[in-house]
Amino acid sequence: MPNNSIIDMHAHWFPQAMVDALRARSAPPYVRKGEDGREYLYSSFNPSVMEQAESAQARLEAMDRNGVQRGVLSMTGVYGIERLPVEDALPLCQIYNNAAAEVCAQYPGRFSAFAALPLADVAAMLAEFERIMQLPGMAGALLPSDGFLSKKRADYFRPLFDAANRIGAVFMVHYGKMPNDPDAPKVDNSDNPHARIGTLDMQARISQNMLTFCMTDFLDDYPNVTIMSHNLGGNIPFEVERLDHRSMLDRPQDELPSKRIRNARVIVDCNSLGARSIEAAFEVYGPGRIVYGSDGTDFGMAWTNKAIADARIPESEKASIRSGAALAALSRAGLGLRAAAE
C-alpha cells in the first residue's frame, strides 16, 4: 500500500468550467464534437479526445486509490491558453484559477494549486498573480519552460519573481511556449511526432531551463522563491558528467557544473520517469531535491508509486520524495503551508 502522506506536486486538472469555456471558443484552443460523436480538444498539438471534465470527487477517488493525500493542481501549459492575446488569456486563466481556488477551499486538506497566468502582458500577469495568491490554497504559479531557456529570456519574468519573493511562492516551470516568440525552437515532427515533441524536445528544453536556474545568477535576487522543474529536470541526471567533462576542457577555471547543480535552490519532480532515473537524479541532486509527480492521472500515480518503491535509494529519501521535500517547499508558500499542514 502506498504511503498515504504523499504530496503530488505535478497534478494537472481540467475542471468543467474550463471545458465549458473552450466549447464556446471559435479558435484554438477549443473543444468540438467529432464525427464519431466524441469531443476533441484542438490546441497547438494534434486533436486529443476530451472524454470529460474531471470533478474534484473523481480526482480524490484516484488519489485515494494510490495513497496520495494532497494534489497541487495545475493547468497544463501545452494547450496554449496562457499564451493567447491577453484579452483572451486573462478570462480563461481566471476561470481556471477560480475553479482551482474553490476546490482548495472545499477540500483544504487535500488540494493546493498553481495559478495559470496570462503571459503576453506583464502587468496583467502580475495583477492576476497578486489577485489569486490571496485566495485559498494557492502555492504559486505555472510558468512556461521556453521563458527560461536562457537568463536573457528569464528577465521577462523579473517583476513576477519580485512579487513571488515577497511571499515565498513556488513556481512550477513546465514545458510550454512563450507568446509571439520568434526565436522559439522548431522541431521537425513529420515522423514520430509524439516521441519527438512529447519526450525528446520536452526533456531537452527542460535541461536548458536547469542551466539557467542552476548555472547563472538569475535566482540570486529571489532567495524566497522555490523553483520546481518537472520530469527530473530534463536530461541533467544523464548529462551532468558530460557537462563536467566539457567544463574541464573548455573552462577549467569555472566551478564544475555538477557542483553548481547540486547546490542550486531548485527541486525536480519525478513524473513519468522510472526507478533507474530516480536513482541517477538522487546521485546528481542530492537529498531532499526530488518531489512526487504524476501528471494528475491514475496511471501516473501508480507508475510513480512503483518507480519510487523500486528505486535503490535510502528509505529516508523515498519518504522525502513522497512528501518531505514538497512539504518543505509548500511551507515557504504561506497559504500552501497552512493547507499542507492541515
When pLDDT is averaged across residues 121-131 and rounded to a whole number, the result is 98
Q: Is 191 helix (H, G, I), strand (E, B) or coil?
A: coil
> Does the pLDDT at position 336 exceed 50?
no
12 CB contacts (<8 Å, ≥6 apart)? 73, 74, 75, 76, 295, 296
Region at 58 (left for phi over 0; alpha for psi -120 to 50; beta for the rest): alpha
Burial 245-270 (b: 16+ CB within 10 A, else e): eebeeeeeeeebbbebbeebebbbbb
Return d(Cα 97, Cα 138) in angstroms, integer. 9
Edge-to-edge strand list for the sheet holding 226-229: 6-12, 68-74, 111-115, 138-144, 170-174, 226-229, 266-269, 290-291
pTM: 0.94
At 135-175, the pLDDT tens digits run: 999 999 999 999 999 999 999 999 999 999 999 999 999 99
The pLDDT of residue 46 is: 65
pLDDT(44) > 80: no
* C-alpha closest to that of 64 among 128, 122, 145, 6: 6
C-alpha cell at 211: 542551466
Average pLDDT of the residues of the chain: 93
Distance CA 137, CA 340 (A): 9
Residue 309 makes CB contacts below 8 A (sequence gap 6+) with: 275, 318
Q: Which domains does the chain have, with CATH numbers?
A: 6-13+54-341 (3.20.20.140)
**Residue 176 clears pLDDT 90, i.e. is over it:** yes
Burial degree of 318 (CB within 10 A; 0-12, 13-18, 19+): middle
